[in-house]
Amino acid sequence: MQNLLLFIDKVSTWVGQFFSWLILLLTLMISWEVFSRYFLDNPHAWAFDVMSMMYGSLFMMAGAYTLSKNGHVRGDVLYGFFPPRLQAWFDLILYFLFFIPGVFALAYAGYGFAADSWAINEHSNITADGPPVYPFKTILPIAGFFLLAQGLVEIVRCIVCIKQGEWPKRGDDVDEVDVAKLKEMVNVKDEDIAKLDALLTAGKGSK
């Protein structure tokens, strides 16, 4: 079971990292459009729509990745003080009350939007030759599918935590800087930092 959970985590991670390259493409496109608009006096009316679709695709496809890393915003004012089993019960209830219905509606409605968009060969109407919209709308059901799959994994994690009293392991990924690990890697102790601070303070005082 744990191997299956970690496998879906890896799929969500790969999808999120793949679409993260849109950040680079979006940055390059915005830079080019600013240059073209203000230095070449040649703005492109379709550029804003394309930028919005690129950012929207990135935002949607990063949802499952963020969920797999437990990175979505939550109110930790009280939650963080709860024992793991109580946290799991809260998460489990909220997944069934809000997450599953909401994401299922996203995938279901998104499929209808995408199908209609493909059927009419929908394009942006901001210009006569506006960019196609149907590839962007196709992202809606795809993102919903990945988010739903990752949500089911999180539900299983909640059940495991309720039974075992601790959260099961997640897949490894890039983390924020851990000061304790950084100190360990460079062989620096708190006493060394305190001595250095004392020396710096003494040096400032002598001036």
Instruction: List phi, psi (to 5°) of 126.
Output: -70, -25
94-128: pLDDT as tens digits: 999 999 999 999 999 999 999 999 999 998 887 77
What's the N-to-C CA distance of the chain in angstroms?
65
138-151: pLDDT as tens digits: 999 999 999 999 99
pTM above 0.95, yes or no: no
Domain ranges within the chain, ordered by starting residue? 2-170, 178-207
Closest CA to 29 of 46, 12, 15, 9: 46
Tokens of 140: 């809606």
pLDDT at 87 over 80: yes
75-84: pLDDT as tens digits: 777 877 889 9
Task: Give residue 107's Cα distance to chain centre.
Answer: 18
Tokens of 155: 């539900």
Residues 6+ apart with CB under 8 A from 69: 13, 170, 173
Task: Give residue 54's Cα distance to chain centre.
Answer: 15
Which pLDDT score, from 0 to 100, does residue 71 have?
80
Q: Tell me which range, 32-41, 119-128, 172-181, is most confidently predicted by mean pLDDT.
A: 32-41
Which pLDDT score, from 0 to 100, does residue 6 have?
83
